Amino acid sequence: MAADLVGRKVDVIAAFGPPLARAAKEATSTIPIVFEVGNDAVEAGLVTSLCPTCGNATGLSVLFTQLTPKLLEIVSEIVPQLRIVGLLVNPNSPTAEPTIREAQEAARAKRVQLAVLRASTEGEIDAAFANLIDLRADAVIVGADPFLGNQRMQLIAQAALRRDSAIYFSDGFTALGGLISYDQPSDRLSAHGRVHRQKF
């Protein structure tokens, strides 16, 4: 798709998410690219530095991976005696491994057990939530990822079906009935039907 856009000689390419931004970057070094990613754009090779006029790519890097410890902190406050927490990530996402590392470090500090669950298809999401029962997890954190964001309704339904305390990375989940979310770019903690603006 990126090559097709380059062939059409578009004026600019907008890319949302690391895989799309990388595909655009690999397809052209001349057409301007504007991206939004949830990982470090320099580390991912999308830009060489934070210089705004260097290269043909620029954009917003939200650094969702750094959000994971905050999600664990919040869920530990709403779930008394938290012992085991599941972390759902998309293994195909470049943010998966950094998210897992951040979560493991935060879990050690909180003295809770972290169970990493991986899902990149609808069927794998269902299996991951079924696995939470076997693991006796007290809560689940949904890692930030475009694919998981697109599966909001399925994730919310699975959490409700199994009565899991789930925390999400975007208030788009709570708007649809999810329990709680923390939206880092705007410092918003959202509970189902409510939004609380606060600085952490």
The dotted CATH code for 64-197 is 3.40.50.2300
What kind of fold does domain 2-61 have according to CATH?
Answer: Rossmann fold (3.40.50)
- Write down the pLDDT at residue 47: 79
Q: Do domains 2-61 and 64-197 have the same CATH topology?
A: yes
Hey, where are the domains in the chain? 2-61, 64-197
CA distance 10 to 114: 45
Q: What is the pTM of this model?
A: 0.71
Q: Please, are residues 169 and 190 in contact by the beta-carbon 8 Å criterion?
A: no
Cα-based angle 82, 178, 79 (whole degrees, multiple of 5): 15
- Write down the pLDDT at residue 191: 58
- Write down the pLDDT at residue 48: 76
Secondary element (H or E) of residue 31: none
Residues of the chain with pLDDT under 70: 38-39, 50-53, 62-64, 184-200
Distances (CA, A) of 36 to 6, 16, 139: 19, 5, 29
**pLDDT tens per residue, range 130-163:** 999 899 999 999 998 889 999 999 999 999 988 8
- Write down the pLDDT at residue 55: 82
